[in-house]
Every structure is written in structure tokens, then in C-alpha cells.
Amino acid sequence: MFDVVTGGAGFIGSHLVDTLVAQGNEVLVIDSLCSGRRETIARHIDSCKGRFVQKDLLGDGWQDSIRGADRLFHLAADPDVRQSAVNPDPTMQNNIMATYRVLEAMRQHGVPELVFTSTSTVYGDAAVIPTPESYTPLEPISVYGASKLACEALISAYCHSFGMKAWTFRFANIIGSRSGHGVITDFILKLRKDPAELEILGDGKQTKSYLEVHECVAAMLFAVGKARGTVNTFNIGSEDWIDVKSIAEIVAEEMHLTGTRFRFTGGDRGWVGDVPKMQLSIDRLKALRWKPQTGSRESVRIAVRDMLAEQQHGVS
């Protein structure tokens, strides 16, 4: 099996590469290293179990390398929801245009299958929680969410027009080692600077589903092996949720801090485009006989421990 992973030196992508290599697949990583780190996949490259092309998907010089691939995992994206409300252009370019270029390269070189990582933010402020994949209307409230929904539409059109197959995964909050952004990273950095006080965006009551990254990768590959429709869409997340204040408490506890004061910025949203409550229905995955082994609270604690260990000892 020849797999291509765009964004394969990034957070989720590098964990996916680990698993694909362990399965004995031939793996090609395409990554600009804008946010990814070569050291996360260096052992696979050094052992010749994986190949690496450092290219930006918005440029050229990578397209021919995917010729002959059986499946392409498209994880490369601009993942910053907050920044998409400040400067939308990088999100438009790195999400929508990059996905279009990937689809065109697949069409031209005959790559038959695509796995795409989308997001729970395509649902916007959903009125139904847990939110199923069939929920409508899809009204994103962030530029990031809108860009991912546009990518889903492009993928569907290409699959039906050019005989491809696709698996689209709408993620809850995926957390764990090698992550470079998100609430846990934010809290750890702030507490290292000032252990006495932690600023928490919003009122701390934002409540969402979290899942540890290894569970996420397992769910993706399980669904790809079971569902064989033209376009297969799945939510991936835990079956419960946790509020931001509780996450702050876990981070402080795992950093062995006592007496840390929490200072809330106020309001029910941490930033423009933030969704105060989010939990995804995973009934579609469960119908295939997959369910997560960890809940949100346990996923957070595992992720905090792994991220603190990673900072202490280097890339894991």
C-alpha cells in the first residue's frame, strides 16, 4: 500500500505516519514545515521506511511524487480558528486552494482515494447536541469552519465527477503530544510564565468534547477499512465533554502547582468564532463497531502528561 500524507510532519499527521509505517505501508510525507517539524518523522526517513518531500501545496514540484499512490491523506491546513477571524487570507489559501490543488493532482495522476480531516466547526452553533453528521443547516461561525466546509464540497464534487472515493472526518478537539496550539498548549505556556495566575478566555464554562490523538488515528483508519461509499462522512470525538475551567485545573495539577488564581476575560465565547458547547454524535462510527476507549477528562489528562513530558525530553 502506497500512502501519501500531506501535513505528515504536523501534530495529527505525524501520529498517522507512525501508524501507517508500523502497518508496513510505503509512506510519502509532503509538508512545507511551516508548522510541522521534521524531527517528528525523522526516524522513518532515516530508516528509509518513509519518504519526505518538503514543498508547499500552493507551489509546484510535488505533484509528480504522488503518482501511483493508492490513497492520499490530506491533513495539511491552517488550523488556527482564532487567527482566521483576524486575517482570513491564509485560511482561504492553505485550506481551500491547497485542497483544490491536491484534488487536481489526484485527478491528473490517477490517485483513487482521499482521506480528509475536517472539523466540528462546520456545524456552527448547532441546536442539536450531540450533533450528528446529518445535521442541517451547516452554518459555520468561523472563517476556519467555512473553509473546511468548502473543502468538503469540493471533495464531494471531485468524487462524483471523477470516480474517486473519499472519507471525511469531522473532528472534535483532538489533543496530545506534538500539538503546537490549542487550550492545553496555551495554559501550559501561560503557567510557565506566571504560575500564580492563569488567564482563561471567556467565562471558563465553554464545554466541549476532547479526544486523545492516538484514539483519533485509530478511528480514522478503522472507518477507512469499513466504509466503502463514494463519500463517507464521520464525526470523531469522545462521548462526553469537559469545561475549560476543569481543563485549567488538570493542567495546574499535572504541573504540580497549588494556589493558582484563575482570571476570566468574560463572556460565553473565548474568541470570535468560538462555540460555547460542542459534542459530536459518533453513532455512525459506533454502527461500524468502533468506540473510543477514553473520555474527555481522561484524554485531557493523558494529553497534558504527554505534552509536559515532551517539553522536558524532546519529540516523542
Report pLDDT digits (tens) over 225-284. Answer: 999 899 999 999 999 999 999 999 999 999 999 999 999 999 999 988 899 999 999 999
Question: Residues near 154 by Cβ (< 8 Å), separated by ≥ 6?
Answer: 96, 99, 100, 103
Query: Tens digits of per-residue pLDDT, 27-73?
Result: 999 999 999 999 999 999 999 999 999 999 999 999 999 999 999 99
Element containing residue 277 per DSSP (H, E): strand 277-278
Residue 86 CB burial class (10 angstroms; 0-12, 13-18, ≥19): exposed
**What's the confidence (pLDDT) of residue 178?**
96
Give the lowest-confidence range in 45-54, 57-66, 77-86, 141-150: 77-86
Which stretches of the chain are DSSP H helices?
11-22, 42-46, 81-84, 89-91, 98-109, 143-162, 183-193, 213-226, 244-254, 283-286, 296-313
The one catalytic residue among 100, 123, 135, 144:
144
Query: What's the CATH class of domain 183-208+240-278+294-313?
Result: alpha beta
Q: Share the mean pLDDT of the chain.
A: 96
What's the alpha-carbon Rg for the chain, to the nearest Å? 19
Q: Calculate the CA 304 to chain-centre distance.
A: 17
Q: What is the mean pLDDT of residues 131-140?
A: 98
CA-wise closest residue to 140 among 122, 120, 118, 117: 122
Chain segment 234-248, per-residue pLDDT in tens: 999 999 999 999 999
State which amino acid sits at residue 180: G
Share of the chain above pLDDT 90, in %: 93
Of 266, 161, 262, 149, residue with least CA distance to 206 = 266
Residue limits of CATH 3.40.50.720 in the chain: 2-175+211-236
Packing angle of the helix pair 98-109, 143-162 (nearest 10 deg)? 10
Interatomic CA distance for residues 140 and 126, integer angstroms:
9
Mark 205-230 as b/e (b = at least 16 C-beta within 10 Å): ebbbbbbbbbbbbbbbbebbeebeee
Cell 459518533 sits on residue: 282
Per-residue confidence (pLDDT) for residue 81, from 0 to 100? 79
Instruction: In the chain, list all ranges with CATH 3.90.25.10.
Output: 183-208+240-278+294-313
CATH no. for 2-175+211-236: 3.40.50.720
Closest to 239 measured CA to CA, from 297, 315, 313 = 297
Give this prediction's pTM.
0.96
CA-based nearest residue to 168, from 105, 120, 96: 120
Quick check: 314 pLDDT over 80?
Answer: no
Residue 316: pLDDT band with limits 50, 70, 90: low
pLDDT at 85 over 80: no
Q: How far apart are CA 315 and CA 101, in angstroms?
A: 31
C-beta pairs of 264-269 under 8 Å, 24+ apart in sequence: 264/200, 264/202, 264/203, 264/204, 265/199, 265/200, 265/201, 265/202, 266/202, 266/203, 267/202, 267/203, 268/202, 268/203, 268/205, 268/206, 269/202, 269/206
- Helical axes 183-193 vs 296-313, angle rounded to 10°: 50
Q: Quick one: average pLDDT of 149-164? A: 98
Task: Answer whether 310's CB lies under 8 Å from 160's CB.
Answer: no
- Is 158 noted as a catalytic residue in this protein? no
Instruction: Compute the residue count for the chain.
Output: 316
Which of 130, 261, 132 has its CA nearest to residue 190? 261
Name the strand (E) or helix (H) holding 75: none
